[in-house]
C-alpha cells in the first residue's frame, strides 16, 4: 500500500512539473506553443490537405488520358520474336519496357543483353528505342540500328498479316 501511494505521488509530481514547460519554452504563450510546427503537426496537416483515397478508388477510372501509356502491339510482338534468343527477364506491357538477359544470336559468338522501350502506339521508328550491350560494354550504333530495323520490319509484316484477316 505504501508503494502504491508512493507511485501515485511520484506520478502526480511528474505530471505537475511538466505543466510548467510551456511557460519556460515559449515565454508563457500557450497559443504560440500550439502553433509550432512539429513532425506530428506537419503529418496531421499533410493528411488533411492531401487527396485521401480509399479502396474504392481502385474501381474508379480517374486516370489522366494525357499520362496513360499505350504500346504498339506489333512492335511488342516483333521485339519478342526478333530477340527470342535472349531470355526475357522483365516485361511490362503498361510502360512498354522489355528487358532481356544475355543471349548469343544464332551463328554468332558474342553474347548480348538488350532493353527495348516502346513509347508510342504508332508503328514508327520513333516509337522504338533499343539499348544493346555486350559483356564488354555498349555496342556500336550500327548494330543497334540493325536490331531496330529487324524489329520494325517484323512488326510491319505482322500488321500486314493481320490486315488480310
Q: For residue 160, what pLDDT band results from cuts at 50, 70 and 90?
A: very high
Ramachandran region of residue 137, left (φ > 0), alpha (ψ -120 to 50) or beta?
left
Q: What Rg do the C-alpha atoms of the chain give, in angstroms?
A: 32
Long-range (24+ apart) CB contacts under 8 A made by 45-49 are none
Residue 78 within a domain: yes
CA distance 28 to 77: 72
Task: Mark whether 14 and 38 lie in a shared domain.
Answer: yes
For residue 26, the model assigns a pLDDT of 44
- At residue 22 the predicted structure's pLDDT band, cuts being 50, 70 and 90, is very low
The fraction of the chain above a pLDDT of 70, given in percent, is 58
Residues 33 and 91 both lie in one domain: no
- Give the CATH number for residue 133: 3.30.530
Whether pTM exceeds 0.85: no
Q: Are strands 97-100 and 112-118 parallel, antiparallel or unpaired?
A: antiparallel
Task: State whether 48 and 81 are in the same domain.
Answer: no
Q: What is the pLDDT of residues 62-93, one digit of tens each?
A: 655 555 567 899 999 999 999 999 999 999 98
Domain total in the chain: 2
Amino acid at each position: 500500500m505504501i508503494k502504491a501511494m508512493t507511485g501515485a505521488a511520484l506520478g502526480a509530481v511528474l505530471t505537475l512539473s511538466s505543466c510548467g514547460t510551456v511557460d519556460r519554452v515559449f515565454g508563457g504563450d500557450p497559443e504560440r506553443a500550439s502553433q509550432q510546427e512539429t513532425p506530428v503537426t506537419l503529418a496531421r496537416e499533410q493528411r488533411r490537405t492531401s487527396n485521401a483515397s480509399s479502396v474504392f478508388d481502385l474501381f474508379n477510372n480517374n486516370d489522366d488520358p494525357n499520362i496513360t501509356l499505350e504500346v504498339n502491339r506489333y512492335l511488342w510482338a516483333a521485339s519478342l520474336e526478333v530477340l527470342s534468343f535472349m531470355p526475357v527477364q522483365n516485361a511490362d506491357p503498361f510502360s512498354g519496357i522489355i528487358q532481356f538477359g544475355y543471349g548469343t544470336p544464332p551463328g554468332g559468338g558474342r553474347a548480348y543483353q538488350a532493353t527495348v522501350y516502346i513509347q508510342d502506339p504508332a508503328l514508327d521508328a520513333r516509337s522504338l528505342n533499343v539499348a544493346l550491350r555486350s559483356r564488354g560494354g555498349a555496342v556500336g550504333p550500327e548494330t543497334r540500328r540493325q536490331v531496330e530495323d529487324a524489329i520494325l520490319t517484323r512488326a510491319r509484316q505482322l500488321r500486314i498479316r493481320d490486315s488480310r484477316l
